[in-house]
Structure 1
Amino acid sequence: MVLNGRDSTSPGTDRSGPAGGADNPRYKWIALSNTTLGMLLATINSSIVLISLPAIFNGVHLNPLEPGNVSYLLWMLMGYMLVTAVLVVTLGRLGDMYGRVRIYNAGFAIFTVTSIVLSLDPLDGGGGALWLIGWRVLQAVGGSMLMANAAAIVTDVFPARQRGTALGINIVAGIAGSFIGLVLGGLLSEWNWRSVFWVNVPIGVLGTIWAYRSLHDTGVRIKARIDWWGNLTFAVGLTALLAGITYGIQPYGGHTMGWTNPWVLTGLIGGAAVLVLFCVIESRVAEPMFPLKLFRIAAFASGNAASLLGSIARGGLQFMLIIWLQGIWLPLHGYNYEQTPLWAGIYLLPLTIGFLAAGPLAGALSDRYGARLFAAGGLVVMAASFAGLLLIPSDFNYWVFAALVFLNGLGGGLFAAPNTALVMSSVPARLRGAASGMRATFQNAGMVLSIGVFFSLMVAGLAGSLPGTLDSGLTAQGVPAAAAHTVAELPPVGTLFAAFLGYNPIEQLLGPQVLGALPAVNAETLTGREFFPHLIAGPFHHGLGVVFWLAIAMALVGAVASLFAPKSRPAGPAEDPVTQEAELAD
């Protein structure tokens, strides 16, 4: 088959274009620089909103701790990740069909325009929250276009001997963006909540213009029809499943969580059933959007399994550390609640430094020595850091904490680039867009799953010990037994979100009437910086144990999956599409 004057079955390059085109020796570095900027922008956006939620909700005059507003909070947290998890495969496949650079460039433009619209939110209250949620969903479409095609563009232009290094830089920038956003969001939210979205605009405009002027499609473009039924069933099934997990965190019918809610059960069971139907469709259509035959390639299957498990473990860590710092450690060390988002980001810098230190180096070394041991070793290092965090108290020595989170970032950096190179180098050139989208789907779905799984485990852990702790702590300060018991019986998810957002909810929970009847010294203690953190520290650490043991297990299973990948081939055969196609046919 010949498309655009070249053979679509070989990894030929389009030599047309200006001097800065694909035939220029510097072009691969231009492509790497731009796609790295795109990945950085897309992932910073997720965590920058995460750390800035208190300022954002204050800006639209919405109390996120009121029961009716929990849904707004959850969708602000998870909506962006859910959309990217659903769309990246489809958009990667469209990149294979219509040009990876074309889809990537459109993503940069959409992302930039929606950033402008988000910063102009004209509404207050629930309307303001819905404006932000809706436009973030559209922004996620642009982010998905960037994420689905960036790794495929890099894989197209770099030879196998340099691919680990290039993907290392690209992927490290993407994942490091989720850490950098924590610091950036803390800084910007101190100034103005709208600046959380403004910061995307100049970078987005620069990246969009640069992408349209500099990037050219060099990879294989296949002539195919859109798999409408596959796209539809995948989107419906995954959305229903992840939305069910999202709402399962919320209380329902007197239960601490919503796993008995008929709508949640419908989403979970129905979503899983539709995904099974999707697999049946993809195994029978001639041109599937999700080529299941890629899972016949051992490196592709094991690499994606490891990526999913590592993503769940890493995502859970990020949320738990933010709760730990904002809700407990920082207030106990003299920081006002309004300052905790900024300082939580600053105190998590060792995590970012560890990741940035290890990522590019691991990518370069994996080019030379193979990717398996680096990927597996990175997850083992992550598991060791989780074990260390289990052993320190709630009111820890910061330098011990910093060393452990640095170790965790180091492990993540060792894993990310080699694993991506393993996955992307294992597939035929004509399917790199779909493969890149599938890899991103596992990674993003892992982040959404981590919120549902880790929050649920934490709430379950808190449900056993928090009510008694609240009851006894409040009555010890003179709160009437009936009022203390009412507060203690509230679902622990509210307390968990309070800690996550850096709030002291005691004043709101007791109300002015109860507080006004107490001696002034007791009322001041209850609403001060230290009472709430001291109160929840014990139950939180108990729940943390359950969460981190699961993270350890997932990281170690992911390490085993990485070791199941075959040893890396030398540069020649890894580039040979005939060898890869034969592997698919085995």
Structure 2
Amino acid sequence: MMFAVAMTFIDQTIVAIAAPDIVRELGLSTSGMQWVVNAYLLSLAAFFALGGRLADLYGPRRIVVIGTLVFVISSVLCGCVPEGDAAQSWLIAFRATQGFGAALLFPAALAVVVAVFPRERRGRALALFFGISGALTALGPLLGGWLTNWTWRAVFWVNVPVAVVALALTAFAHIADRRRPGTLDVRGAVLIVVGMGLSVLGFQQAWSWGWGSAATWACIVGGLVVLCGFVAYERRVHHPLIDLRVFKDRAFTVDTVVLFFAMLAFVPLFFFASVYAQVCLSASPNQAALFLLYFFAGFAIASQWGGRILDKQGARPALKIGCVLGCVGFALWAEKLTDLSMHDQWPYAALAGAGIGFILAPASTDAVNRAIGPSYGEVTGITQTVRNYAASVGLAVLGTVLTHRTNSNVTQTLEARGFPPDVAENVARNISESITGTGDNSSPTGTGPAATALRDSMNAVRMDFAEANQWVFYGMAIALGIGFLCALRHPGGRAVTPTHTDAEATPAPEATQAPAGQPDRRTGP
């Protein structure tokens, strides 16, 4: 299962490194390339809940295989994109189907892991699962930089050997498929796909369209209205896509809310720290990826420790420790950003990573342990949908803060150097959009006033951008601080009362008996 989900995590970051080469060879517009990146994340967020429900209804092993095939076939087609007018539409379409495959694959894979391990060993197992799969996100930029030196198409084709290994291991493991009785709530699926898709689209495009744009708010508000309609509908349907009764469990609700605030910082960090390293520290893309490894060193160690705490004491201690460490780590890291030294920042990056590591696996595992009946896939779909939604909100809100503060800082710097206020404001806007990637200029080069000002004042602009990033990292610290206040509401204790048994599950006909010579995975190893 870890091989299978490796593809989905790597693909969240690997394409961004290859973006300049893709744009240059295929002649894509800047907005078109943004859609190539966003189509994957948008589809992933919109279909996660559906993927979890399908895993429950038709068996997680079957959905893992289908999701892997959809993902890898889409990857091959992305790498085979033809040059010409159809290139942009081709890439966007198959990046979206990639996201759909990942949305099927991930909750089903997690449901397999949950079903195989007994509750008393589940915390450590999922800590390893989340720790390694999360660290693979940092591998994306490193792998992308290396593969792009050969051809940018390889960033898609690299998924083929990984998928082959994943499918082979899935076959050898003889995983028993357990199905949950019920029917697919098609109307609910349409509502949540439209609601999640619209609102996430609004948040994603807020940078390009602007927060004052009617289109931005139409998507966000329209999506939220549809999601409210989804909740009202799910309360009435006999076999809902999401059983909302699970939110009556206060521990599950707290787990989900803490995950939301943790993800406001976790996924956006990849973008902001990478851009900061390249702009302020003059790092290459590969060096920027290495910069993030400090964060993941703390993350990987703490996720294992958090899993042990969960198994012995429950989720509450791990969540409280994680939120405190994350809040302090991001705040101290923010203080050091203006030193413009990677060496001075690594302890605080590792501390922030440890905070996130203490949160993600325990909160996700505790939420799954409190599933109603055997609805592992469904509950995983809920938590992963919340995580992706929070990531979109964090990128949009913190990105707006970054652009606004960069523009303000650079304007003040240029005015202090004698630029007229109107010229300084225009130049600053061009510079901030070039650096943050929110405008049409991909880099501050050329003969225009923005490029000239940036070349003449590079050190000052670097400091301005570093100071703007401080606001972003303080925002991440605040998010973890709010998460701590929410963690205090966790009732504590372990989810030791069985809420599901093998008798409650309806096994697939072929899974009623384990293959000869193989242990019965339905009751754990």
Give the superposition deviation at 1:533: 4.2
Match of 1:358 in 2: 302
Contact 2:259 2:386 survives alignment (8 Å)? yes
Give the superposition deviation at 1:437: 0.6
Query: How does 1:75-94 map onto structure 2 within 5 Å?
Result: 75-94=35-54
The amino acid across from 1:556 in the alignment is G
The amino acid across from 2:6 in the alignment is L
The amino acid across from 1:422 in the alignment is D
- Closer/same/farther in 2, CA of residues 471 and 80 from structure 1, 3 Å limit: farther
- Closer/same/farther in 2, CA of residues 191 and 269 from structure 1, 3 Å limit: same
Give the superposition deviation at 1:102: 0.8
CA distance in 1, matches of 2:341, 2:285: 20
3-state SS in 1 of match to 2:240: coil
Contact 1:186 1:345 survives alignment (8 Å)? no
Give the superposition deviation at 1:482: 9.0
CA distance in 1, matches of 2:370, 2:470: 38
CA distance in 2, matches of 1:567, 1:114: 43
- Closer/same/farther in 2, CA of residues 112 and 273 from structure 1, 3 Å limit: same
- Closer/same/farther in 2, CA of residues 205 and 238 from structure 1, 3 Å limit: same
- Closer/same/farther in 2, CA of residues 135 and 535 from structure 1, 3 Å limit: farther
Match of 2:461 in 1: 536
CA distance in 2, matches of 1:100, 1:452: 33
Match of 2:118 among 151, 155, 159: 159
CA distance in 2, matches of 1:532, 1:190: 31
Query: How does 1:136-147 map onto structure 2 within 5 Å?
Result: 136-147=95-106
Match of 2:17 in 1: 51
Match of 2:182 in 1: 224
Contact 2:208 2:438 survives alignment (8 Å)? no
Greater mean alpha carbon deviation, residues 304-313 or residues 128-137: 128-137
Greater mean alpha carbon deviation, residues 40-49 or residues 535-544: 535-544
Deviations 1:461-495 (A, max 9, x none): 2332333435666x78xxx9997775345484334
- Closer/same/farther in 2, CA of residues 273 and 508 from structure 1, 3 Å limit: farther
Match of 1:493 in 2: 433
Give the superposition deviation at 1:546: 2.5
The amino acid across from 1:199 in the alignment is V
1:179 aligns with 2:133: no
- Closer/same/farther in 2, CA of residues 570 and 225 from structure 1, 3 Å limit: closer
1:428 aligns with 2:353: no
Give the superposition deviation at 1:161: 0.9
Give the superposition deviation at 1:411: 1.7
The amino acid across from 1:569 in the alignment is R
The amino acid across from 2:23 in the alignment is F
Contact 2:264 2:391 survives alignment (8 Å)? yes
CA distance in 2, matches of 1:115, 1:164: 32
Match of 2:150 among 164, 170, 191: 191
Match of 2:288 in 1: 344
Match of 1:394 among 331, 335, 338: 338
CA distance in 1, matches of 2:439, 2:194: 33
Query: How does 1:290-329 map onto structure 2 within 5 Å?
Result: 290-329=242-281
- Structure 2: unaligned runs, 5 residues or longer: 505-525
Query: How does 1:411-450 map onto structure 2 within 5 Å?
Result: 411-450=355-394
Deviations 1:544-577 (A, max 9, x none): 2332222112112222323322223374x24655
CA distance in 2, matches of 1:155, 1:123: 44
Match of 1:107 in 2: 67
- Closer/same/farther in 2, CA of residues 49 and 172 from structure 1, 3 Å limit: same
Contact 1:506 1:532 survives alignment (8 Å)? no
The amino acid across from 1:198 in the alignment is W
Query: How does 1:204-283 map onto structure 2 within 5 Å?
Result: 204-219=163-178, 221-251=179-209, 258-283=210-235
Query: How does 1:103-142 map onto structure 2 within 5 Å?
Result: 103-124=63-84, 127-142=86-101
1:545 aligns with 2:466: no
3-state SS in 2 of match to 1:506: coil
Contact 1:329 1:394 survives alignment (8 Å)? no
CA distance in 2, matches of 1:393, 1:410: 19
The amino acid across from 1:270 in the alignment is G
Contact 1:357 1:410 survives alignment (8 Å)? yes
Contact 1:304 1:442 survives alignment (8 Å)? yes
The amino acid across from 1:92 in the alignment is G
The amino acid across from 1:230 in the alignment is G
- Closer/same/farther in 2, CA of residues 56 and 160 from structure 1, 3 Å limit: same
Greater mean alpha carbon deviation, residues 229-238 or residues 358-367: 358-367
- Closer/same/farther in 2, CA of residues 157 and 203 from structure 1, 3 Å limit: same
3-state SS in 1 of match to 2:238: coil
CA distance in 1, matches of 2:429, 2:181: 60
1:505 aligns with 2:449: no
- Structure 1: unaligned runs, 5 residues or longer: 1-34, 63-68, 252-257, 516-522, 581-586
Give the superposition deviation at 1:39: 1.9
Deviations 1:9-31 (A, max 9, x none): xxxxxxxxxxxxxxxxxxxxxxx
Of structures 1 and 2, the larger Rg is shown by 1
Match of 2:403 in 1: 459
- Closer/same/farther in 2, CA of residues 89 and 482 from structure 1, 3 Å limit: closer
Match of 1:288 in 2: 240
Give the superposition deviation at 1:499: 11
Match of 2:162 in 1: 203
1:562 aligns with 2:493: no
CA distance in 1, matches of 2:74, 2:43: 15
Give the superposition deviation at 1:397: 2.7
Greater mean alpha carbon deviation, residues 558-567 or residues 148-157: 558-567
CA distance in 2, matches of 1:105, 1:61: 35
- Closer/same/farther in 2, CA of residues 380 and 393 from structure 1, 3 Å limit: same
CA distance in 1, matches of 2:110, 2:4: 11
The amino acid across from 2:469 in the alignment is L
- Closer/same/farther in 2, CA of residues 384 and 77 from structure 1, 3 Å limit: farther
Contact 2:3 2:165 survives alignment (8 Å)? no
CA distance in 1, matches of 2:413, 2:39: 34
The amino acid across from 1:75 in the alignment is W
The amino acid across from 2:198 in the alignment is A
3-state SS in 2 of match to 1:242: helix
Greater mean alpha carbon deviation, residues 132-141 or residues 390-399: 390-399
Give the superposition deviation at 1:218: 4.6
CA distance in 2, matches of 1:485, 1:308: 36
3-state SS in 2 of match to 1:250: helix
Match of 1:27 in 2: none
In the alignment of these two chains, the number of paired residues is: 504
- The percentage of aligned residue pairs carrying the same residue is 25
CA distance in 1, matches of 2:37, 2:51: 23
Match of 2:26 among 54, 60, 81: 60
Contact 2:314 2:493 survives alignment (8 Å)? yes
Match of 1:31 in 2: none
Match of 1:4 in 2: none
- Closer/same/farther in 2, CA of residues 495 and 570 from structure 1, 3 Å limit: closer
